[in-house]
């Protein structure tokens, strides 16, 4: 057989035996999805990072975030007492690395938080002169937001300024400056961060009707006085028992009607019992540990894994239903071991509130969330369970 004819025969045999090269679309169908790619057309999805995730200490967590998510928020490293502990003293190392990590992975980068009554440096609490406190607030915002101008995509400008009844919390800023500090903070942030940066108000229990109405009134007043507020962060610190989906949806609809894009921030779901007088996510609360309050010290039973998956499925069905007005979903932590809920509101407990376990492996809840299509229904077009098992 001539060489030319032999090569032609080989090509024909290969074509039938091997199949034609796959198209990009076909390749995409066989690429295991991630949380961020699964909902890429609806909203960005991400996590809060600690210093260990960006300074080389927790490389497994860092790799998980880079693989699964497309937005990041700093857990503590940009809060006032961390980044600006003394007048004129700034700790830039971790925040710089955090922003660089987000840029390297083409993520939507969120800064958290510029003005908050908690985790506030002691020197700020000692300023009682209104002019001096306002000047220090500007110095802080100019330095922090200004350093990352054009690099951080959105800022939680003011965090947790409301009481549960919708009235303004009597924080140090409120006591010295009055409610005008809210408008001033947003004006300062707009000037320092630039016009392209989104500016948010962020708070917990935003499903509470009284608090919701207070937030809407407060933001309308800030806007009327010249402050720019681009959206609202609904901290999603939930439990498997509540609040109800209907209650959460009522607030989502109310914020939509008020013209406020929504960020579902700080998402986690506790599977542990809480003290009867627990209120929201007030970090100063703490209670005594006991076997009743720490029922799963070694592992989460399969029955509770199912309960957790059911809860997250219901939540994501709701988020997908309102995807036109929900721009971002941020889990508060990278995996169960990283979650703040292991120490709050009772120290020493073992909680399981996220999608990844302490070994960085996907939990059943992960597959349940990925099984939802853009309409919030179970997808029949992709074997998420099979693909997830292949990746693990």
User: Helix, strand, or coil here: 190?
Assistant: helix
Asked, for residue 13, whether it belongs to a domain, the answer is no
* pLDDT of 125: 98
Distance CA 262, CA 197 (A): 15
* pLDDT of 10: 45
Asked, for residue 293, whether it belongs to a domain, the answer is yes
- Residue 186 contacts residue 157 (beta carbons within 8 Å): yes
Distance CA 308, CA 367 (A): 12
CA of residue 275 relative to chain centroid, distance: 25
User: Helix, strand, or coil here: 324?
Assistant: coil
Pairing of strands 44-49, 231-239: unpaired
φ and ψ of 109, to 5 deg: -100, 125
Asked, for residue 278, whether it belongs to a domain, the answer is no
One DSSP character per residue, 365-388 reads: HHHHHHTB-TTSSB-SS--HHHHH
Distance CA 21, CA 259 (A): 48
* pLDDT of 373: 72
Q: Which of 150, 235, 152 is nearest to 201 (CA)?
A: 235
- In this structure, what CATH number is given to the domain that contains residue 305? 3.20.20.80
On the CB side of 265, CA atoms within 13 Å amount to: 29
Q: Which of 123, 75, 133, 8 is nearest to 332 (CA)?
A: 75
Catalytic residue among 68, 160, 266, 327: 266
Domain residue limits at 96: 34-273+288-391
The CB density around residue 150, as the number of other CB atoms within 10 Å, is 9
Cα Rg of the chain, angstroms: 24
Q: What is the 3-state secondary structure (H, E, C) of 102-127?
A: HHHCCCEEEEEEEEECCCCCHHHHCC
φ and ψ of 75, to 5 deg: -70, -55
Asked, for residue 44, whether it belongs to a domain, the answer is yes
The shares of helix, strand and coil residues in the chain, as percent rounded to the nearest 5, are 45, 15, 40
Asked, for residue 18, whether it belongs to a domain, the answer is no
Asked, for residue 3, whether it belongs to a domain, the answer is no
Domain total in the chain: 1
Question: Is 131 one of the catalytic residues?
Answer: no
Bridge partners for 199 per DSSP: 155
Q: Report the Cα–Cα distance between both ends of the chain, in Å, rounded.
A: 50
Distance CA 104, CA 106 (A): 6
Question: CA 55 → CA 52, 155, 189, distances in Å?
Answer: 5, 22, 27
Residues of the chain below pLDDT 70: 1-30, 276-289, 374-392
Bridge partners for 108 per DSSP: 71
Whether the model clears a pTM of 0.95, i.e. scores above it, the answer is no
Distance CA 342, CA 294 (A): 10
* pLDDT of 8: 45
The CB density around residue 68, as the number of other CB atoms within 10 Å, is 22
Asked, for residue 22, whether it belongs to a domain, the answer is no
Q: Which of 300, 312, 330, 319 is nearest to 375 (CA)?
A: 319
Q: In sequence order, what are the residues at sequence separation of 6 or more whose Cβ sits closer than 8 angstroms to the Cβ of residue 197?
A: 145, 149, 150, 152, 153, 154, 155, 189
Token couple for 204: 């917990």
Q: Which of 117, 120, 198 is nearest to 163 (CA)?
A: 117
Token couple for 354: 């996220």
Asked, for residue 348, whether it belongs to a domain, the answer is yes
């Amino acid at each position: 057989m001539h060489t030319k004819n032999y090569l032609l025969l080989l090509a024909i045999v290969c074509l039938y035996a091997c199949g034609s090269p796959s198209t990009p679309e076909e390749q995409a169908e066989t690429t295991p999805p991630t949380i961020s790619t699964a909902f890429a057309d609806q909203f960005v999805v991400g996590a809060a990072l600690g210093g260990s995730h960006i300074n080389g200490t927790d490389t497994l967590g860092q790799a998980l975030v880079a693989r699964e998510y497309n937005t990041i928020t700093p857990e503590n490293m940009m809060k006032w007492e961390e980044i600006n502990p003394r007048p004129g003293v700034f700790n830039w190392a971790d925040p710089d690395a955090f922003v660089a990590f987000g840029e390297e992975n083409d993520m939507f980068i969120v800064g958290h938080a510029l003005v908050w009554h908690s985790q506030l440096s002691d020197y700020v609490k000692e300023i009682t002169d209104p002019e001096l406190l306002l000047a220090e607030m500007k110095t802080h915002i100019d330095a922090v937001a200004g350093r990352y101008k054009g690099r951080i995509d959105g800022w939680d400008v003011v965090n947790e300024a409301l009481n549960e009844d919708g009235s303004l919390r009597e924080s140090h800023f409120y006591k010295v400056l009055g409610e005008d500090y809210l408008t001033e903070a947003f004006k300062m942030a707009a000037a320092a961060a630039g016009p392209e940066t989104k500016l948010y108000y962020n708070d917990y229990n935003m499903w509470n009707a009284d608090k919701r109405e207070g937030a809407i009134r407060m933001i309308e007043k800030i806007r009327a006085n010249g402050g720019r507020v681009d959206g609202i962060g609904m901290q999603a610190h939930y439990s498997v028992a509540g609040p109800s989906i209907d209650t959460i949806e009522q607030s989502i609809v109310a914020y939509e009607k008020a013209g406020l894009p929504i960020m579902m921030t700080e998402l986690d779901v506790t599977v542990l019992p809480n003290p009867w007088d627990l209120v929201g996510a007030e970090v100063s609360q703490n209670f005594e540990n006991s076997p009743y309050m720490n029922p799963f010290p070694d592992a989460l039973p399969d029955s509770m894994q199912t309960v957790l998956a059911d809860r997250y499925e219901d939540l994501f069905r709701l988020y997908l239903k309102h995807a036109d007005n929900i721009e971002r979903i941020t889990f508060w932590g990278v995996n169960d071991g990283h979650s703040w809920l292991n120490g709050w509101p009772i120290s020493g407990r073992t909680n399981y509130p996220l999608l990844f376990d302490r070994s960085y492996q996907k939990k059943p809840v992960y597959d349940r969330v990925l099984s939802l299509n853009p309409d919030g229904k179970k997808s029949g077009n992709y074997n998420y369970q099979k693909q997830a098992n292949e990746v693990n």
